[in-house]
Structure formats: structure tokens, C-alpha cells
Structure 1
């Protein structure tokens, strides 16, 4: 994951002298859990993409969730890299380009999913509080433009990884992937070290404010207003909607808070015990993976139609398989 000192993939030229130590039981267990999470996420997110993208009528709501699940699917594909990273004793073997690209993609996925969940909460708020405007202006072309804007802004906010991420050789020939915020490439001068810290702090604050605090406050405010409106109509505490909203808020908070706490601690790594930082790294790694692979389960409850379409689509596939099999083995059939 994104660390200041991470054992990220060594390039072949400098990695020949590194020999991984014996795999520890905790590393093996963590890697197994990550691979299991990857398989579940690949299957679950893949099925959601199939249903949302091909089997359901295109609406603004399905468009929102199609791209949210796409973010999770995108993140899920990267989990095996982290599993290998853990198995090698926090040593990565994929080169400098992957060091930059992988962290950029992770950041894009994080920002995109956060912004899309915020848009969904604003969409729910407008639906309940401004229904006239909602009916007139909420169109698929309008939603597509917002989605494109989300991806572009996410890339812009993630671009610093392409500039600041690099690999270095450390003890024993191990390669680490780090954020080098020293824009003058001189790590000994006090002036450049002060500038490095200010750049690091600025990037962290942008990531924390735009990637967590402001979206979280917006989501909580929107769903609180929606809940109050539903309560006025005697609907808030009697069905799925309130439970879904609460689950999404709690999931968002628990999934991303450890991530930002860890990166905040890196600003004060001299004052924070290494054991605390390492524990928080493990927590945020697994909460991020869990969020990407299991949060889509919530989307079954977004509407009754999703589960109905999902079941009908699977039934259609099974029927088609049997029909093809019977027709292929019928007397007189070719082959």
C-alpha cells in the first residue's frame, strides 16, 4: 500500500542480491486472507458489473452504482500484488513503473468511489427535498458528465504519485517504494527538508479533506435530512431505506478512517511507536480490501429490482446452457 517506507517491487537490475527470508506464519495467513478476499471480490464485483452493466435498464441510479462497483472491481484486481508483497516479507518485485502506477491507481479508485458515494447521497437528498428540480434536470447525460468529471478530478488528485513515488535499495538489497517529497533531490539540507515536510503535509491535507472529511460530512448531512423527511412521512424506521443509508455511512467511515489515520501518523513517525504504525497499516490494508470486496453486498438493497434481475439473469443462463447441451446432443445433430 501507500507507505513512506514500503518494500515495493525491486527492479531486476538491483534486486538480484536480495534473498527473501523464510515466510512467517503471520505473513502467510495475511496473504491467504488477501487472496481469499481477492477471489470473493472478483466474483462478487464481477457479477454486479454484469447485472448493472448488461441486465438492468440504464438509469441515473444504475449508472452511479455501475461506476462505484467499477472502482471496487478495479481495486480488487490489485490485491494479489499486495499478497505477494506480504509473502516476500514486505519486498515488492515489479519495478519503479509499477511503484508509481499502482499507487496512482489505488488513489484514483479511492477518490472516485468516495466522490461517487457523495454524489449518490446528494442525489437522494435532492430527490426527497427538491422533487420538481429532480424530475426536470436529473437525466442520464447529466449524470454521465458528472461521472466523467469525478474520474478526471480523481486522476488530477492522484497525479502526485506519478511525480513523487520512487524505488530505493535499502538493507540487504531490499527495494522499497517511497514518497520522495524532496523536490530538489537533496536530503541533507535543512531548508529542503522543511520544504519536503510542507509538501507532504499539503498532500495529506488535500487527501484527508477531499477524500474523507468533506465527503463524510456531506454524506452524513444528506442522509440525516433524508431520514428526517422519511420520518415525517412515516417511512424512516419501517423498511430498508434507513438501514441501507446507515450501513453505507458506517461502512464508509470504518473503511477509510484507518487509511487516513495511518497517513496522518506518518507525518509524526518519530513520535509514533513503530508497533502502532505497523498495526494501523495492517488494519487499514484489510479494511480497504474488505470495503472493496464486500461493500457491494449492500447494493442488493438499493432496490428490489436488482435482486429480481439478478435471479432472472442467472436462471436464463442455466436454461440456455441446458438448451444448448440438449440441442447439441440431439440425433442428427452435426459434430
Structure 2
């Protein structure tokens, strides 16, 4: 996650030795959230990765979510580094190499997840509007190639941070991990500050357009067309996996909207009250962590009452969440697995 000139969370200034009480409270709340989401995220994402990777037959749908959950798990595994960074008073003790590598991985996970969510929405659109093409051309091997392409494209968009990210020694020997968009050690020159601002703006626009706005428009159009098609044919919205996919879309965009808002306000932070920036910091940290760590758990409860979840075995419930069935496609389970899913649905009626 790129944070302008900081890693994950901003300091109050490169030359500041005193952190206002309000910002300190925000940092403490953020650290607590980070540790909680790490524990929940590792368990939740690890469970889903185990079920999708080892316990279910490989289909296009399970392949999409296998890669998506891998993104979430990647993000989750990086959280302890940044939690330590916060607790040490924003003193980076992990060195220059990890400063570059960890932030590149966060950017990689963000781009990959939003691109995969876009692919999932396009997949649903093709299913309802081009069923014949869908039947003969939608294969696991092609989906795998697309997924690999997504990871490569995301890495290309994240690679600049291998150059921009670096450590800097400030007040009293404290080390911070920041972005140096001008690639210069002369931080105070007017020309360098102007260049850095321009490069920062360009990077922000690329991330906002490719990582948020364009995917949002694509997903909204696809799901709008799918909804109209199903309404026209008087098809009921399936409980699974359509609601699972919609939930993942909604949770992603609600989670990352505060992040992009915070990034845009960073360009005007001199005019924005520090209390507003501190509050927005806590909000976007919570929402982004929720997206990566709690969304897989949310899948379990989509379309079902909370208490009913506990009437079904966890493994069967997770499998039921990914039955590739929108009323027209052939179920992707067979034998014992399909019987378990059908029994699960009967129990929940």
C-alpha cells in the first residue's frame, strides 16, 4: 500500500519529534487493528486457500477465487512488519531491501485483487449474454493464463516502487521508509520538490484509474447488464456463488475508497486539518484490512442467516459457496461432493 511518503501510516513530519495526542491515539488504534486482522486473516484466508486448493475440483470459478484469496493472504502476511513499525514509533528496523520489497508486494496484491474481481464480473457477464461461446471457450487452462497475466501486469505496475522506495534517517537517528519520487538525495531543493510532486501525481492517477475507477465502471456495467438479463428472463438470483461474488465486489470498493480519498488529500494536507487526516487514516486502515482479512469469512454468511451457518459443517458450507451455478450452467461437483452440497441447501431451506 503506497502512502505517499510513508510506509502504511504517515508520520507527522520528517523533523517532528512530538506526535500530537490525537494522531498518537489513531496510531495506537491502527496497530491494534493490524494485529487483530493479521490473526483473523491468516486463519480465514488459510482455510479458504486449503479448501479451494486441495479439497475442491479445479474449475474456472474456484481458480479465480484461489488467486483472489492468495492476494488477500499475501497482504495479511505483511501486516506484522508494519505493526512493528507503528509500535516502534515509525522507526524502520528491517532495512532498505525489505522497505522496497514489502511495499512492492502490497501494491502487487492490490492491483491483482482488483483485476481478478474485474475478470470475475466479465466472466459472469459472458455467462448470461454469450452462453454458447461461454460453453465452448471457457476453460480452466485459459483462465489460468489470464490469471498469470494479471499477476504479471500487476507486478509491472508495482515495480516502480523497487526504485522509489527507500529509507531515510531523520530526527535523532530514527529511520523511516518513504517514497523518493525524484530519486534524489537533495530533498530540499525546489526543483526536486517540484519534480517529486509531479511524479507522485502521475503515480497516484495511474493507481486511481487502473486500481479503482476503471475496474469499478467495468464491474458496475457487467453486473448491471447481468441483473437486467436475469430480470428479463425472470430468473431468481442464485444464493451461491452470485451473492458471494457481489459481496466481494462491494466489500472491495467500500474498503479501498477511503484509501484513495486519503491519497488524494495528501496533496493538500497543509490545508486539511490533521484531525481529519488522522480519522481518515484509521478508517481506511480498518476498511483495507477488513477487505483482505475478513471478506473470506463474510463469504460464509452471504445469503444465509447467521445461526444457520453453524448448523452446517464448515467444509461443506465453503464448498457450497463456490458451486458454479447461475441457473443455466452445469454444476461443477459430482458424486459425494455434490450430494453434500445439495444436503446443505436442503438443511438451509
TM-score in same-fold range (> 0.5): yes
Report the structure number with the largest CA radius of gyration: 1
Whether 1:223 and 2:223 are equivalent positions in the alignment is yes
How far does the alpha carbon of each residue in 1:34-69 deviate from its partner, in whole angstroms, 9 at most, with x for none?
222111111111110111001100111110000000
Instruction: Flag structure 1 segments of 5+ consecutive residues without an equivalent.
Output: 9-17, 315-335
Q: 1:32 to 1:268 in 2, by over 3 A?
A: closer
- In 1, are the aligned partners of 2:108 and 2:154 still within 8 Å (CA)? yes
Q: Distance in 1 between matches of 2:315 and 2:186?
A: 57
The answer (yes or no) to whether the contact 1:223–1:245 under 8 Å persists in 2 is no
1:234 to partner: Cα distance: 2.2
Aligned mates of 2:270, 2:206 — CA distance in 1? 23
Partner residue, 1:111:
111
Q: Are 1:177 and 2:177 an aligned pair?
A: yes
Distance (whole Å) between structure 2 residues aligned to residue 91 and residue 187 of structure 1? 19
1:64 matches 2:101? no
Asked whether the 8 Å contact 1:236–1:242 carries over to 2, the reply is no
Segment of structure 1 superposing worse, 270-279 or 231-240: 231-240
User: What SS does structure 2 have at the residue aligned with 1:166?
Assistant: strand
Aligned-pair CA distance for 1:103: 0.5
- Residue 208 of structure 2: aligned partner: 208
Q: State yes or no: 1:134 paired with 2:134.
A: yes
CA deviation string 1:305-328 (max 9, x = no partner):
xx87823999xxxxxxxxxxxxxx
| 1:270 is the counterpart of 2:270 | yes
Task: Using the TM superposition, give the Cα deviation of residue 271 of structure 1 relative to its aligned residue in structure 2, in angstroms.
Answer: 2.3
Q: Distance in 2 between matches of 1:246 and 1:49?
A: 20
Instruction: Kindly indicate whether the alpha-carbon contact (under 8 Å) linking 1:182 and 1:192 is maintained by their aligned counterparts in 2.
Output: yes
Would you say the 8 A contact 1:103–1:161 is kept in 2?
yes
- Using the TM superposition, give the Cα deviation of residue 7 of structure 1 relative to its aligned residue in structure 2, in angstroms: 6.8
| TM-score in terms of structure 1 length | 0.81
1:92 deviates by 2.6
Q: Is the 8 A contact 2:7 2:103 kept in 1?
A: no
Please state whether the residue corresponding to 1:92 is helix, strand or coil: coil
Is residue 288 from structure 1 mapped to residue 291 from structure 2 by the alignment?
Answer: no
Counterpart of 2:343 in structure 1 is: none
Contact in 2 for aligned 1:251/1:291 (Cα 8 Å): yes
Aligned partners of 1:144 and 1:301: how far apart in 2?
28
Quick one: which of 284, 307, 315 aligns to 1:310? 315
Residue 89 of structure 1 corresponds to which residue in structure 2?
Answer: 89
- The answer as to whether partners of 2:243 and 2:302 remain within 8 angstroms in 1 is no
Contact 1:262 1:281 (C-alpha < 8 Å) held by counterparts: yes
Name the SS for the 2:150 alignment partner. helix
Aligned residue for 1:325?
Answer: none
CA RMSD of aligned residues (A): 3.0
CA–CA separation in structure 2 for the residues paired with 1:38 and 1:155 = 23
Separation of aligned partners in 1, 2:317 and 2:243: 25
Using the TM superposition, name which of 187-196 and 156-165 deviates more: 187-196
Change (3 A) 1:67 1:303: farther
Maintained 8 Å contact 1:101/1:162: yes
Cα distance, 1:288–1:313 mapped onto 2, change above 3 Å: closer
Given that residues 73 and 292 in structure 2 are in contact (C-alpha distance below 8 angstroms), is that contact kept between their aligned partners in structure 1?
Answer: yes
Structure 1 segment 31-50 matched on structure 2, within 5 A:
31-50=31-50
Residue 167 of structure 2 is aligned to residue 167 of structure 1: yes
Number of aligned residues: 301
Q: Aligned pair in 2 of structure 1 residues 169, 27: CA closer, same or farther (>3 Å)?
A: same
Q: Would you say the 8 A contact 1:100–1:162 is kept in 2?
A: yes
What is the TM-score when the length of structure 2 is the normalising length? 0.78
8 Å CA contact retained: 1:56, 1:309: no
User: Which deviates the most, 269-278 or 215-224?
Assistant: 269-278
Rounded to whole Å, the distance in 1 between the matches of 2:5 and 2:275 is 14
Deviation at 1:220, TM superposition (A): 1.0
Query: In structure 2, do the counterparts of structure 1 residues 136 and 243 end up closer, same or farther at CA, with 3 Å as the change threshold?
Result: closer
